[in-house]
Structures are given as C-alpha cells and as structure tokens.
C-alpha cells in the first residue's frame, strides 16, 4: 500500500468503470501494472468488491432515518440483530457505546412504512424503546476513503 495504490483507490471510488489505461496515465504506469496492483488490492481484501450507487428517491425510498433501539438486556442483542437483519428497510445496523442499544439507518417509502417498521421493531423481544431521528436534508454521503 503506497501512494500510488491510494490514488488508484480514490479514482476507483469515484468511478469503478474507469479504464485501466486511464488509471495508468493518472499514476504514470502501464495498464498491466495497474491491473496487477488492483488484483493485489482485491486479494488483500482492501477492495472488497464492486457495486453501483443507486438513487433512493427514484427507487421509491425517499424517507431516511436513524433509529436508536434500547435493549432491556445486552445479552438479547445477537438475537435482536437476527430479526433486524431480515427487515429490508434497514440499511445499516451497529452496536454503540453509551447505552445498551442498537443503532440503525433505515429507508422507507413514507411515514406509514416507517411507523410499521417501528411497530415491528418494538415487537422484538428485549426492545424497550426506540428513538427516531428523521433526516430532512442529506448534505452529503460520500464513500469512506482516507483521502
């Protein structure tokens, strides 16, 4: 992992369809050299995969929210996560420090769908309460990169 690899990652983050020849120009290497470096990044699981970025609004999921879920007992966490994992509206799920709680990022069609989701969440064993933070404006959502 040197400066060249970091540059390659940055360029690929921005557009994974960029040609190897163009990558080569950017880092002053040939296409095969770029190829070899990227394969190594994949092998080392620094690059975990390739994906598309979709527009949630155009897919009918304009509502975004963060929900903190308070659990009565931390030992119920693993089981709760299994239930939550099945809920397609939940995009991300974390355990956070501070309270014994889970923290979710979700997307739904509308507030009705959000309410239904909350009902389902509260029906999970060990879930004591939920606190919802509805997103009004997404200022930016960039993909993590240390550069």
Residues found near its own copies in the complex (CB under 8 A):
9, 12-17, 44-56, 58-61, 64, 66, 68, 81, 84-85, 88, 91-98, 102-103, 107, 133-147
Nearer to its own copies by C-beta: 52 or 123?
A: 52
Nearer to DNA by C-beta: 34 or 104?
A: 34
Residues 135, 97: Cα–Cα separation, whole Å: 22
Residue pair 104/66 in contact (Cβ under 8 Å)? The answer is: yes
Residues 98, 121: Cα–Cα separation, whole Å: 20
Nearest to 130 by CA among 43, 55, 59, 67: 67
Q: Which stretch binds DNA (CB under 7 A): 15-23, 85-93, 106-114, 136-144?
A: 15-23
What residue 125 binds from DNA, its own copies, none (CB within 5 to 8 A, per partner kind)?
none
Residue pair 39/46 in contact (Cβ under 8 Å)? The answer is: no
Residues that bind DNA (CB under 7 A): 4, 19-21, 24, 28-33, 35-37, 40
């Amino acid at each position: 992992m040197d400066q060249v690899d970091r540059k390659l990652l940055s360029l690929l983050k921005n557009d994974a369809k960029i040609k190897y020849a163009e990558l080569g120009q950017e880092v002053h290497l040939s296409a095969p050299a770029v190829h070899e470096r990227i394969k190594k990044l994949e092998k080392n699981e620094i690059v975990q995969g390739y994906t598309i970025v979709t527009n949630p609004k155009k897919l009918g999921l304009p509502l975004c929210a963060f929900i903190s879920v308070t659990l009565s007992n931390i030992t119920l966490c693993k089981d709760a996560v299994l239930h939550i994992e099945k809920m397609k509206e939940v995009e991300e799920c974390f355990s956070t420090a501070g309270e014994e709680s889970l923290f979710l990022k979700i997307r739904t069609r509308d507030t009705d769908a959000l309410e239904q989701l909350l009902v389902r969440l509260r029906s999970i064993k060990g879930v004591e309460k939920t606190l919802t933070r509805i997103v009004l404006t997404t200022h930016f959502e960039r993909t993590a990169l240390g550069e």
